[in-house]
Amino acid sequence: MPTDALTKEELQKMADPTLGGTIGETMAQPEVDRFSVDDEKFIKFHGIYQQDDRDLRKTGKTYIMMIRARITGGIVSAEQYLALDDLATRHANDTLRITSRQTFQWHGVMKSGLGPLMKGLNEALISTIAACGDVNRNVLAPSTPSTSPLADLVQADALRVSDALLPQTKAYHEIWVNGGPLKLTPDQKLAFEDPLYRRNYLPRKFKIAFAIPPLNDTDIFANCLGFAAIADPANPARLLGYNVLCGGGLGMSHGNEATFPRAADVLGFIPADRVVETAKAVMIAFRDHGDRTNRKHARLKYVLAEKGPAWFRAEVEERAGFKLEPARAAVFTKQGDRFGWHRQSDGRWFLGMYVETGRIKDTPERRLKTALRSVVAEFRPEVRLTTSQNLILAGIPEEQREAINRRLAEHGVPVDRQVAAVRLNSMACVAMPTCGLALAESERVFPQLLDRLEALFTELALGDEDIVVRMTGCPNGCARPYMAEIGLVGRAPGKYNLHLGGVFAATRINRVYREGVKFDDIIAELRPLLARWKQERLPGERFGEFVDRAVPPPEVPPAKSAA
């Protein structure tokens, strides 16, 4: 391909395939408060985003960093959690943010705090390499203990896949662990070639999720590559292999019909011992066929949408050196996390904790950050993150449960009925003030929306119904609103597109019901539909299914309030 057709990101990767740029040199200059425009792109491959606090823009730009860890399958030890919490207090904005891909982010880190934070993370054996950038991202796996006898096997496979797809550049280690620039000449840098990613890496980000049917707790259909675990029908504890799903992805741009969210296709089945080779083959096929001329069209989903699953399967088979078998029967019926105390299959207990918008912080009413620190420091549970931005304390002996309940209660953190059912399946992206792409608020206004929704449920006597409701500040879809029963997608300050009709199993994309709804009008849009749902629903019919069955697709009239 002629280089003048390539995006500037492609040219930049090829100009320094070690991805080191001048990051090390900039880190050695304490008086410099930001990275160069080129290095802004390289640091993403190291798990770092250069941002600015958008609330403060009127008084000048303040550079801050967001750091994202790589925590495959969302599991950290008690010791690691304490270290991560401490780093948040010392170098970030005193919060830990659980992301929709079951890892942690630190926000508001000044450049002066970046070196110590990265060093601290690596000392806790938590890396941030490839948490962002045109590479394979954090691999998702079911993290709730005992939801399936296959859970540990699937977690182990997720780790193997994640490790096998790590970039091999030494730049990360040199800069953040050894604390200096990569000691290579410009020619040596130019000559570096990663065995899998070669010199220009992937055309765009690449995302993998594992799930164990019937529970789709990782939103597998929203990923570039999914592995749906298949148990031996004669022995549910034996992992036969995986159905392979390809071509899911959610990001889109308003007003650009060439961009769209897409649910993955099922390509076939592989035995469990071929999972790493299959992951490599799919990623390499994407490397070879993704669009490197237009980043808005560069995701794997567009290859699948345009060339078709059969064509792509053949490309994967050619690279893997084996054929995919026909997909096995597997049905997803539900999603979501488990809250409160549950017994694990080993007799110990886990505690599922709802974390509003994934933000672990202290407020006057609920000192969640302090409470978690105290519980983890004393009782040493394993800490697990879910892809719905929630947290699990796992491996707890029976005799510790009461003391943990008491400790949480002392900090205003309930265990039994943590929040109303309508809030439990909710998620919001970060958006303002740190996300440079936000068109509207999300995390900061979401609690208020949930308050109103809860009041509406009371008004309509909907009782303890739950509903999957997700909000994002722009159409990139970071909280996966296109798979939700109620999805709100930021359009402009204070205005959202309302998406309805997702299914509980999150197997398909919902549809736009109304465009440009004012934040204050969202409940008024939902009231008649929820009232109808109550009156007209079939037995057990969820809101998303009801909308899909009984509410005809509108011609998407803009709300009166739309711009």
Q: Which residue has the tokens 């705090």?
A: 113
Known active-site residue 429 = yes
The mark string for 65-94 relative to ligand SRM (x by CB under 6 A, - otherwise) is: -x-x--------------------------
Residue ranges in 158-217 that form contacts with ligand SRM under rule CB under 6 A: 207
| Rounded CA separation 401/79 (Å) | 20
Q: What is the 3-state secondary structure (H, E, C) of 280-343?
A: HHHHHHHHHHCCCCCHHHCCHHHHHHHHCHHHHHHHHHHHHCCCCECCCCCCCCECCCCCEEEE
| Rounded CA separation 515/493 (Å) | 13
Known active-site residue 348 = no
How far from 44 is each of 13, 301, 343, 522, CA to CA, in Å? 12, 22, 40, 35
Contact 515, 556 (CB under 8 A): yes
Q: Which does 473 bind (CB under 5 to 8 A by kind): ligand SF4, ligand SRM, none?
A: ligand SF4
In the complex with ligand SRM, which residue's Cβ is closer, 215 or 404? Answer: 215
In the complex with ligand SRM, which residue's Cβ is closer, 337 or 521? Answer: 337
101 contributes a contact to ligand SRM by CB under 6 A: yes
Q: Which two tokens stand for residue 217?
A: 């707790």
Q: Which does 388 bind (CB under 5 to 8 A by kind): ligand SF4, ligand SRM, none?
A: none
Residue 20, CA atoms < 13 Å, CB-side half-sphere: 24
Query: Which residues contribute to the site for ligand SF4 (CB under 6 A)?
Result: 429-431, 435, 437-438, 442, 472-474, 476-478
Q: Choose, from 132, 224, 246, 478, the residue flagged as catalytic.
A: 478
Of the ranges 14-22, 246-254, 521-529, 549-557, which one interacts with ligand SRM (CB under 6 A)?
A: 246-254
Q: Report the b/e string of 288-297 with b at 16+ CB within 10 A.
A: ebbbbeeeeb
Q: Which does 474 bind (CB under 5 to 8 A by kind): ligand SF4, ligand SRM, none?
A: ligand SF4
Residue 317, CA atoms < 13 Å, CB-side half-sphere: 15
How near is the Cβ of 501 to ligand SF4 at its closest, in Å? 20
In the complex with ligand SRM, which residue's Cβ is closer, 506 or 530? Answer: 506
Q: Which two tokens stand for residue 516?
A: 């440009």
Known active-site residue 359 = no
Of the ranges 88-96, 149-157, 244-252, 315-323, which one interacts with ligand SRM (CB under 6 A)?
A: 244-252
Of the ranges 183-191, 359-367, 432-440, 506-514, which one interacts with ligand SRM (CB under 6 A)?
A: 432-440
Known active-site residue 224 = no
Known active-site residue 205 = yes
Known active-site residue 474 = yes
What is the 8-class DSSP label of residue 103?
-
| Rounded CA separation 350/451 (Å) | 28
How near is the Cβ of 415 to ligand SRM at its closest, in Å? 24
| Rounded CA separation 472/482 (Å) | 10
Q: What share of the chain is helix, strand, coil (3-state, %, to 5)?
A: 35, 20, 40
Q: Choose, from 13, 44, 111, 137, the residue flagged as catalytic.
A: 137
Q: Catalytic positions, please?
A: 68, 137, 205, 207, 429, 435, 474, 478
Judged by the rule CB under 6 A, the positions of this chain that interact with ligand SRM are: 49, 51, 66, 68, 99-101, 103, 105, 137-138, 207, 219, 222, 249-251, 299, 358, 389, 429-430, 434-437, 476-480
